[in-house]
Amino acid sequence: MGLARSARIAVAAAVTLGLCTPAVNADVRYEPGAPGLGDPYFPDLGNGGYDVDHYHLKTAYDPATDQLIGETTIRATATQNLSRFNLDLYKMNVRSVQVNGHRVPFARTGERELEITPRRGLRNRSRFTVVVRYDGIPETLGGPIGFDLPYGFLHTGDGATIVSEPNAASTWFPANDHPRDKAFFTIETTVPQGLQVIGNGRLVKRWRAGGKDTFVWREDHPMATYLATGSIGRFNISTTITGKGIPQLDAVDPGVASDRGSVSTPAWTAQATDELANYFGPYPFTTTGSIIENNNVPPLNVPNALETQTRPTYETPPVEKGVVHEISHQWFGNSVSIGRWSDTWLNEGYAVWTEKYWAEKHGGQSAQEAFQQIYADPPPMPPGRPGFWDLAIAAPSRDQMFHRSIYLRGGMTLQALRHRIGDEQFLRLTRTWLAEHQYGDATTEDYEALAERISGQDLREFFRVWLHSPGKPTWDR
C-alpha cells in the first residue's frame, strides 16, 4: 500500500471523465519487477514493481498432520510496467497461479521466490489480482534472529501459533514480505470442528460445515506481513471494551487459565491501550487484546512474544511490563513500521523505553534511574553473542538484529535524548514522529532529522556515538 491511493483515484476519475485516454502504445516497454526490495539484511524479502493493497489468506490447517492448504488472493497495484513479478514463498508446493482470472505460468527461483508471468504486461498504476493455490507443511525458521528458538508457523499442543518476525510470513503465505509494503488483511482459516482461530482485528464471520469450522478475521488498517496471525487451538475467549471504548478480545490457552499472567493480561492490556494513548496520541487501531499460549519453551532472558497487530501473541503468560512492551509496539513498529530490518532499535528501543516510562508514571523508579542502572551494570550476554557495548545499534548485522543491546541500549539512547533535549521536546518529537509516519514506514535517518527539527539542536555527534558507533558512550548526568 503506497501513497498512490489518492493519485490512482484521481487518474481513474480523469479517465472516466474522458480527460485523458490511456495511451495505446505498441512501444510500451515492460520489465520484470525486482526479486527483492533492497533490504540490507534480507535481499530476497519483498519484491519490486507493485504494491499490495489487500491480502485474502484462505487456509485450511489440520493439526494432526501439520498440513496447510492455502489459497491467497492478492489485490495489488503495479508501480512500473511489469512483464513479470515475484512473490515471496518459502518452500511449500505451488499448485496454480492466476492473474486477473487467467491461469499463468510460474517458476520457483532462489530460496523463496515465486516468479509469475502474466499473459500480458501489466501497465504501471493498473490494479491486478493474483490467486495462488499451494499446500505443504510450513517450515519453521531458527537461529540467532529468533533468539535461537524456532519461529514462524509453530505447531502447538492443540493447533498452531504464528510468530513471523522478521522473515517467516512467507513460510505460510505468498507475500510481498517486507514492512515497506503494508496492506489490509482478511484471514480466513478452516480447522477441525471444535478448534478456534484467533486472528488480527475483528471476527467478521464464522460457520460450521462438513465437520469443520471456519473463522474470518479482518484487519482494516495497513499491516506489515510479519504481524499477521491466526492462532489455532482451544482458547478461553473474553471480550470487553476498554475505558476509552476500544473493543478488546483476549484468548487464553486453557492450559494457562489459572496462571496469574493470563488472569491479569486483559486488564493490563486495556490499561496500556488507553494510557499509552495519553502519552503518544490515539491508539492507532480499532481493536486490542491478546493471544496467550502455553508453549513449553526453555527459560529465556527475553520474553518470547510478538506484537501481532491489535492482538499481541504471548508464547507464555507475560508479566505487566511485557504487556506494556507489546502494546507500545502497536504505535512503534505496527503503526510506524521500520523501512529496513537494520532499524529494529527504533521498534525495540521505544518499546523498552515505554516500559520504563510506564514504571516512572506509576510511582516506580524514573526512566533515567532505570537506564542509568543498566548503563552502570549491563546484563551479561549469552555465550557467542557480542558483548553489551560491542554493537552499533543502528547497524547491528543481521544476526544481532534482536540482540539485548538493540532493546536496552535502544531504550537508553531514547532516554539520553530525552535527558538532553528535555521532557517536553522529547514527547513532542515522539508524538510528531507517530503522527507524520502513521500507518507508514520510516528509518533511523528520518528519526534523526526529525529530532534535529523539533529540538533545533545539532544532534549529529549524539547519534553518531549512541547509534552508529560501538563502545560505551559517555552519559553526563
Which residues sit at the interface with Zn ion, rule CB under 5 A? 348, 351
Q: Report the candidate in 273, 278, 287 with the shortest Cα–Cα distance to residue 223.
A: 287
Buried b (16+ CB within 10 A) or exposed e, 392-423: bbbbbebebbbbbbbbbbbbbbbbbbbbbbee
| Partner whose binding site includes residue 402, from ligand ARG, Zn ion, none (CB under 5 to 8 Å by kind) | ligand ARG
The distance of closest approach from Cβ of residue 286 to ligand ARG in the complex, given in angstroms and rounded to an integer, is 22
| Partner whose binding site includes residue 115, from Zn ion, ligand ARG, none (CB under 5 to 8 Å by kind) | none
Minimal CB distance residue for ligand ARG: 151
Q: Report the candidate in 401, 462, 404, 396 with the shortest Cα–Cα distance to residue 429.
A: 462
Closer CB to ligand ARG, residue 191 or residue 352? 352
The distance of closest approach from Cβ of residue 179 to Zn ion in the complex, given in angstroms and rounded to an integer, is 14
Closer CB to Zn ion, residue 350 or residue 462? 350
Closer CB to ligand ARG, residue 332 or residue 462? 332
The distance of closest approach from Cβ of residue 150 to ligand ARG in the complex, given in angstroms and rounded to an integer, is 9
Closer CB to ligand ARG, residue 142 or residue 364? 142
| Partner whose binding site includes residue 305, from Zn ion, ligand ARG, none (CB under 5 to 8 Å by kind) | ligand ARG
| Partner whose binding site includes residue 151, from Zn ion, ligand ARG, none (CB under 5 to 8 Å by kind) | ligand ARG
Closer CB to Zn ion, residue 144 or residue 192? 144
Please give the residue ranges that form the binding site for ligand ARG (CB under 6 A).
Answer: 146-147, 151, 163, 165, 304-307, 326, 348, 402
Closer CB to Zn ion, residue 343 or residue 348? 348
* CA–CA gap between residue 216 and residue 195 (Å, rounded): 14
| Partner whose binding site includes residue 448, from Zn ion, ligand ARG, none (CB under 5 to 8 Å by kind) | none
* CA–CA gap between residue 299 and residue 449 (Å, rounded): 40
Closer CB to ligand ARG, residue 77 or residue 413? 413
Q: Report the candidate in 40, 304, 299 with the shortest Cα–Cα distance to residue 146.
A: 304
* Number of Cβ atoms within 10 Å of the Cβ of 68: 21
> Is there a contact between 161 and 293 (Cβ–Cβ < 8 Å)?
yes
| Partner whose binding site includes residue 190, from Zn ion, ligand ARG, none (CB under 5 to 8 Å by kind) | none
| Partner whose binding site includes residue 146, from ligand ARG, Zn ion, none (CB under 5 to 8 Å by kind) | ligand ARG
Query: What is the DSSP code string of 248-303?
Result: EEEEE-GGGTTSHHHHHHHHHHHHHHHHHHHHHSS-SSS-EEEEE----PPP-SS-
| Partner whose binding site includes residue 342, from Zn ion, ligand ARG, none (CB under 5 to 8 Å by kind) | none
The distance of closest approach from Cβ of residue 293 to ligand ARG in the complex, given in angstroms and rounded to an integer, is 13
The distance of closest approach from Cβ of residue 179 to ligand ARG in the complex, given in angstroms and rounded to an integer, is 12
- Separation of first and last alpha carbons in the chain: 44
Residue 14: strand, helix, or coil: helix
* CA–CA gap between residue 392 and residue 381 (Å, rounded): 16
Closer CB to ligand ARG, residue 50 or residue 332? 332
* CA–CA gap between residue 418 and residue 412 (Å, rounded): 10
* CA–CA gap between residue 312 and residue 126 (Å, rounded): 35
Q: What is the DSSP letter of 50?
A: E
